[in-house]
Structure 1
Amino acid sequence: MKYLYIILLFPFILSNCSSDTNENPNPVNEQMYFPPIDGSNTWETKSISSLNWNQNAVQPLLTYLEEKHTKSFMILVNGRIVMENYFNGHTASSNHYWASAGKTLTATISGIAEQEGLININNKVSDYLGTGWTSAPIAKENLITCKNLLSMNSGLNDALGDNVSPANLQYVADAGTRWAYHNVYVKMQDVVAQASGQTWNAYFNAKLRDKIGMNGFWFNSLTNGDLSVYTSTTRSMARFGLLNLNKGKWESNQILNENYFTQATNTSQNINLAYGYLWWLNGKSSYHLPQSQFQFNGSLIPNAPNDMFMALGRDDQKIYVIPSKKMVVIRMGDAADEQNFALSGFDNELWGKINALIQ
C-alpha cells in the first residue's frame, strides 16, 4: 500500500515542482512582460533551465565576453531577464555611451514626431532647417529629404569626418543614388527640435525616455558639429530593445505607430539592403559596410537569426532584437578586438556562443 501511495502522489509532486508561473519551455507563447517605469529596480527573471537552454554553454560565453572587453551583457526573453552580467568594474548603475547604436533613438523620435503631425519624413530637410544647412548647391541640397537622412543616402560626402557643420557637408551625388554611413543623420534632431518648438532633449525625454522608464542623457561629442550621443545604464538600453521587440508598444501604450516601425526595420532603399531607418538588418542577400562602397553578398551576421534587426555602435555597442525568439540581447563595452565603426567579426563570433546556449 505504501508503494501505491507514492505512485499516486508522484504526479502531484511533479506538477507542483514545475508550477512557477515563469517556467514555460515555449517562450513564443508566453505573455510579454514589461518592467515598471516607476524608477524601482523590479524586473522579472526567467531561468535558463526553464527555457531548456544549454547550461554548459553559459561559462564559455561569459569567459568569452570578459576576454573581449565587455562591460555588460543581457538577454531578455519575452521581456524577462535570463542573463544579466557585468564585467571589469562595470555595474548595473554604471552609464556607458551607446555610440552609433543610439542612431535608432533618433529614428524612433523622428517617427513619433511624424505621427504627431510635426514633420513628414518625405519632405526636404530644408523645409525645417532652411537652406544653407549644407555647402551643396541649393538645387542639390533641396533633393535631400528627412527619409534620406534616416536611410543614409543623402549623397553628402562621408569622407570628411564627423563634423556636421555646413562647410563639412559637401555634395558627392544626388540624394537617393548613393548609400554611405554618415553622421549627417544627427540633423534629424535639429529637424525635430525646430518642428516641435522644444529642445531635442526635452522632446526625447517626454516622448520616449520617460514613457518606458529609461534613464540616461545626451551629450555632445564634438566641439564643432554638435554630434549628440546617448549614454545610459544597460537596463535602459534593454528597455529600448524591448519596446522595439513589441513593435513600438509598451504594455497598452503604442508609443511609436506600427506602420513607421515596420518601415524603419525593413530595407529603406535599394542600395544597402541591410539598412532600414538607422537600424541594421540581418538575413538580407547583400549588404554594405561603413566607409565602403563595396557590396558584400550574403547575410550580415551568418550565425544570427535572419529576422534579427540591430542597433550597432562603435566599439561593439549592441542591441540585437530577434522577433522569432522573442529575444533582446544587449552588449556594452570597449571594442572586442580593435576600434570599429559599427560592425566587426565579433558579432558573428558572439552569435556562435549564443547559439551554443540557446539551441
Structure 2
Amino acid sequence: MKKTFKVSGIIILVVLIYFVVVNYPKLELISGFSAKSVASAHFIDGRSLELIEKSDNDIKLVRLANNAIFDKEQYATSSVFGLQKRKAIYREGLGSLLIDADFDVTKPYLVPKRVQPKINLPYPFGTNEPKDTVFANIDYSKLRKAVENAFDKKGAFAKRTRSVVILYKDHLIAEKYEDGFDKNSKILGWSMTKSITATYFGILQYQNKININNPAPIQEWANDERAKITLNNLIQMNSGLEWEEKYDRICDATKMLFNSRDMGQVQLEKPLFGKPNQTWNYSSGTSNLLSKILRKQFKTQQEYLDFWYSSLIDKIGMFSTVVETDMTGNYVGSSYAWATSRDWAKFGLLYLHNGNWNGEQLFDPSWSKYVSTPTPTSNGKYGGHFWLNSSGKYPDAPRELYYASGFQGQKIFVIPSKDLVIVRMGLTDDESFDFNGFLKEILGSFEK
C-alpha cells in the first residue's frame, strides 16, 4: 500500500512539474489578469473576492490563481502555485493599476478633475429616476419575456447575463439585473472602451483641432512606409500594422495588457505586415496607440486626464464611469472603462442622436455615419471602432445596427430606425449567448 501511494505521489509530482514547465510563461499573465481583475472589481464596484472568483475570474487557467485583497492598503495580489506573484494597486479617480517591480508606488500622481452636477431631469438626461412612460406600440408582456429569456433560469449557468437595459425614444422601457447586481453596479466594458476612445477624435475634429485624414502624428514613423498611415486608418483598424490578438495564448494583446508599462508604445513599434487602408486587422494595441496620440494633443497630463471626462463622459452624465490608466498615466483606451449599465446606455444614446446630447452637439452628426460605415477590407463587419451588422451577423436584426462590443459579451446595440439602444452585460459572448435571438425577441415586441 505504501509503495502504491509512493508511486502515485511521484506520478502526481511529475504531472505537476510538466504542467508548470509547459505553462510557466503563461503564469505571469494569469496572475496579472487575476490581480488586476480582483483589484478593479473589488475597489471600483465593491465585489467580494468570493463573487469575483466565481464570476469575473471564472476563466480557464485564471481559475488557478490564488488571490488576496488588502483593503487597508488598497491593493490585491495573485499568484499561481505561489509563482509569478503580481500586484494591482487602487488609486481613487484612476481605478486599479497592475504594476511591476520597478513601479514607484510613492510617486505622486495626477487624477482627473470631474464636474458632476445634479441635473433635475429624469434619466437618461438627468440624475433623477426615469419617468414611467407607456408606449402604445409595445407589447410589454413580449418585451418582459424577451428580457427574462436573456437570463439564466434558477440553477442554470449558461447565459450568464448580468444586466439588460433598453432605451426607446429617450425612455427606459426595460431593465433587469442578475442577483447581486443592480442599477448602481459598475461593470467593465472591456473593448467597448475602444468606441469611447474613437469618439474623442470625433469631438476634436468637430472642434477643428484635428483632421483624421492627416497622417498619424508619430515621429518614429516619419522615415519609413508607416508615414502613410492616417488617423483614419488607425480608427478603422486598417493601418496594415502587425498585431496578434488571441486571448487563448500568449500574444501581443495579452503581453501588452499584463506586462507593458506603456501600452500605446507596443503598437507604435510594430512594423507593417500589409498596406495602409488595405489590410484590416483588429488590434487593441491600435486603440492604446490612439490614446497615446490623444495625450500629445494636450500641453499637460492634467489636461489630457480631464478631457476624457469633461468633453464626453461627464458631459453626458456618465458619472459612474472610471477609465483606468497604464503605468505611464495614459488611459487604457482598448479595454479598461467601467460604468453602470444605465451609463453605458447613455453612450449608445449619444450615437443614436448623432452626437447631440439634450441640445448640445458634441461631435458632427456625420461622425455617427463614419463609425457605422464598413471599413475597407473588413468584409462589412467593422467601422470606426464600432462593429457593424451590415454583413448580417445578426440576421434577424436590421443591417443598419451597429454596436460597441467587449470581451464576454458586453454590448451596446444602436438601431437608428427603431430609435433603440439595447445594452447587455455579462460573461458569455456569441459562442454561448444567442444575441440574434435576443435582438429578434426584443424587436418582436414592437408593432410593425
Query: TM-score normalized by structure 2?
Result: 0.61
Matched, 1:196 2:298: yes
Inter-CA distance 45–191: structure 2 relative to 1 (3 Å threshold): farther
Paired with 1:193 and 1:94, the residues of 2 have a C-alpha distance of 30
Inter-CA distance 327–152: structure 2 relative to 1 (3 Å threshold): same
RMSD: 2.7
Paired with 1:282 and 1:140, the residues of 2 have a C-alpha distance of 33
* 1:130 alignment partner in structure 2: 219
Paired with 1:274 and 1:34, the residues of 2 have a C-alpha distance of 35
Matched, 1:214 2:318: yes
Give how far 1:207 is off: 0.5
Give how far 1:198 is off: 4.7
Higher RCO, Cα 8 Å, sep 6+? 1
Q: Secondary structure at the match of 2:183?
A: coil
Deviations 1:198-233 (A, max 9, x none): 544311101001211112111147899973421101
Q: Counterparts in 2 of 1:1-359, with a 5 A limit?
A: 35=123, 40-47=127-134, 50-53=136-139, 55-56=141-142, 58-59=144-145, 61-66=147-152, 68-125=159-216, 127=217, 129-131=218-220, 138-159=223-244, 160-162=251-253, 163=256, 164=263, 165-166=265-266, 169-183=270-284, 184-199=286-301, 200-215=304-319, 216-220=321-325, 227-228=332-333, 229-284=336-391, 299-336=392-429, 346-358=434-446
Residue type at the aligned position of 2:123 = P
Work out the percentage of aligned pairs sharing the same amino acid: 27
Inter-CA distance 37–81: structure 2 relative to 1 (3 Å threshold): closer
- Size of the aligned set, in residue pairs, is 300
Inter-CA distance 106–309: structure 2 relative to 1 (3 Å threshold): same
Paired with 1:226 and 1:105, the residues of 2 have a C-alpha distance of 11
Inter-CA distance 61–116: structure 2 relative to 1 (3 Å threshold): closer
List alignment gaps of at least 5 residues for structure 1: 1-32, 285-298, 339-343
Give how far 1:166 is off: 3.8
Paired with 2:446 and 2:323, the residues of 1 have a C-alpha distance of 35
Inter-CA distance 197–139: structure 2 relative to 1 (3 Å threshold): same
Q: Secondary structure at the match of 2:191?
A: helix
Give how far 1:37 is off: 5.3
Q: Secondary structure at the match of 2:296?
A: helix
Q: Secondary structure at the match of 1:311?
A: strand
Give how far 1:192 is off: 1.8
Deviations 1:35-80 (A, max 9, x none): 3655x23322433x63332514523541432351111101111110
Query: Contact conserved, 2:295 with 2:330, CA < 8 A, in 1?
Result: no
Give how far 1:139 is off: 1.3
Query: Contact conserved, 1:119 with 1:192, CA < 8 A, in 2?
Result: no
Q: 4+ runs of 1 displaced by more than 4 Å?
A: 221-226
Paired with 1:230 and 1:93, the residues of 2 have a C-alpha distance of 15
Query: Contact conserved, 1:34 with 1:251, CA < 8 A, in 2?
Result: no
Select between 244-253 and 259-268 the one with higher mean Cα deviation. 259-268
Query: TM-score normalized by structure 1?
Result: 0.75
